[in-house]
Structure 1
Amino acid sequence: MDQVTKPAGFWIRLLGNLLDGIIVSIPLGLIGFLITGDFDGEDPITSLIGFIYAVAVPILWYGYTIGKRIVGVRIVKVNGKKLGIGAMLLRVLVAGIVYGLTLGIALIVSVFMVVFRKDKRSLHDMMAGTYVTYSKPGEIEDKQAFVD
């Protein structure tokens, strides 16, 4: 049974993303500078590391990134199953392509979805079968075990 528990809204998600941007991009910029000798924000090495961070860290850390952990929210699957590579690739890669192809219009639609939908799910959440929640690891999964 698909169920959304304690969904996180727009402002807390934005703050988590901003913290991730600051905490991750500064060290990545320094690493890129040490490797290339230039502070080019479009360096493929730092872009790849940033992508790997966005996909792998939530899989390995119960849906948290550093920024999300600080603000107390995490990414989970709607069906209560473990977050995996497929869901995170849909969330990060496919959603990024859709947002780029629509010149940001889909991103604006996503913002409105998070603000106005009861379950606070965006387009990339819908694509990946995920949502962002205040629930701690084990809370949602434990409830799903009793439902199934």
Structure 2
Amino acid sequence: MEEIHQDRTFQPPAGYIYASGWRILAAVIDFIILFFISFLIGLVFGVVLSILGSEQETIELYSNIVGGVVGWLYFALMESSEKQATLGKAAIGIKVTDMNGQRISFLRATGRHFGKILSTIILLIGYVMILFTKRKQGLHDMIAGCLVLKERK
């Protein structure tokens, strides 16, 4: 099991600040990208299932499952990659790190992704927290032990 050393005095590396409002723009870009990816995959998946004789409800169920898996893999794989960012985050110079400023694992990125469900179902309070916490962390960031940093221009 990965040992976690959280430096409570951690300051962002030179050239970075804690990301806050910029995260909204990154989320919009990622939403647009995921919408088109999911739409295309769902379309292909739906056509194949229709050809196989599946009913509409079954097609919708499997399309939703595939969409959820695509979203999870998009965020978890990209945020745990060398870039440490989704396409939306990379476009505006944001990256996800652990509490020590290091690259996160796929498992931690997965926890962060699914932590967003909790941030959402409590009336988005988990996201609003970003505006009020010292390190601009949402609930899902705190759960996963992550920071989101923005390149200072």
Q: When you count helix as a share of all residues, which structure comes out higher?
A: 1
Aligned length: 130
Take 2:72 and 2:42, find their aligned partners in 1: how far apart are those partners? 14
Q: 1:119-142 deviations in whole A, cap 9, x for unaligned?
A: 101111111111110149xxxxxx
Alignment partner of 1:75: what SS? strand
Q: Counterpart of 2:37 in structure 1: which amino acid?
A: P
Residue 95 of structure 2 aligns with which residue?
74
TM-score relative to the length of structure 2: 0.73
Change (3 A) 1:96 1:73: closer
Matches within 5 A, 1:13-24: 13-24=23-34
SS at match of 2:97: strand
What is the Cα-based RMSD across aligned positions, in Å? 2.4
Task: For 2:32, give the aligned amino acid.
Answer: I
Per the alignment, residue 109 of structure 2 pairs with 88
Percentage of matched positions with identical amino acids: 25
Query: In 2 relative to 1, CA 68–46 (structure 1 residues): closer, same or farther, beyond 3 Å?
Result: same
Instruction: Please identify runs of 4+ aligned residues in structure 1 that moved more than 6 A.
Output: none
Q: Is 2:67 the partner of 1:51?
A: no
How far does the alpha carbon of each residue in 1:13-71 deviate from its partner, in whole angstroms, 9 at most, with x for none?
01101100101221221121022138959521122111111111111133110000111
Per the alignment, residue 51 of structure 2 pairs with none
Q: 1:30 aligns with which of 37, 40, 49?
A: 40
8 A Cα contact 1:68 1:74, kept in partner: yes
